[in-house]
A = this chain, B = another copy of it.
Amino acid sequence: MNKKGILLVLSGPSGAGKGTVCQGLIKTSKSIHLSVSVTTRSPRPGEQHGKNYFFISEKEFIEMAEKDQLLEWAKVYDNYYGTPRQWVEEKLDKGEDVLLEIDIQGALQIKKKFPDSILVFIVPPSINELQARLIKRGTDKEDVIQKRLNCVEGELQEIPKYDYIVVNDKLEDAVNAVKSIITAEKCRPERFNLQKYLQTGGLS
């Protein structure tokens, strides 16, 4: 059995509900750890430093990127986002699963560096529903919402580069679909050690 953990990357259009799906996964599954990204954007109401993001300055961000301490990073809507490298690699090496909630550019960077990573694209049930969610969330001004919606069609073109696509209509169903993806990926033959199976007479 390959003891390395699974690196699961969730991304998708802003407002598709990536964050809610991630929280649902973390709550109901003890075996997966959510990586906390660094960002230069301002916290939204209720967001906590060290829980939702590490909120850092642009100067600090650039320093981390220059020291190769970020697994991926991207500029999205005038703000920087990045994934701290060390924490993720340590968990994977210990055989623990890691969940990343990052933007599409970042997800594709991860896939290049970690071909074994599993990319999941979360989409809202429809574009109209996406717009409604962004307005309801109330964290973005009208022009930012329009900017996000304009990007969506282009973002959806990246779907073929993903391993899976999950429609986030009912949250519970979306969370269960992602859990099923993890379970299925653990059943990949590449993760099965035949030599060990034969030698030990079974799986230890």
**A184 neighbours in B (Cβ, 8 Å):** 164, 177, 180-181, 183-185
How many Å from the CB of A12 to the closest CB on chain B? Answer: 12
Q: How many copies does the complex hold?
A: 2
Q: Mark A163-204, 1 if CB is under 8 A from B, else 0.
A: 111110000000011011101110111001010011011110
Interface pick from A17-25, A27-35, A40-48, A154-162: A154-162
**A159 neighbours in B (Cβ, 8 Å):** 189, 192, 194
Question: A124-139: which have CB < 8 Å to B?
Answer: 125-129
A60 at the B interface (CB under 8 A): no
Whether A156 pairs with B203 at a CB distance below 8 angstroms is: no
**A181 neighbours in B (Cβ, 8 Å):** 180, 183-184, 187
Q: Which of B128, B189, B192, B203 contacts A126 (CB 8 A)?
A: B203
What's the Cα separation between A60 and B198 when bound, in Å?
40
- Pick 18 A–B contacts, CB within 8 A, sort by A: A125-B202, A126-B197, A126-B200, A126-B203, A128-B202, A153-B198, A157-B194, A163-B188, A163-B189, A165-B188, A167-B203, A176-B183, A180-B180, A180-B183, A180-B184, A181-B183, A181-B184, A183-B184
Could you list 16 further interchain pairs (A-B, Cβ under 8 angstroms) beyond the known A128-B201, A179-B180?
A120-B187, A121-B189, A123-B197, A126-B197, A127-B198, A127-B201, A156-B198, A157-B194, A159-B189, A163-B188, A164-B187, A167-B203, A176-B183, A180-B180, A181-B183, A181-B187
List the 4 shortest-distance A-B pairs measured between CB atoms, nearest first. A126-B202, A184-B184, A180-B183, A180-B180
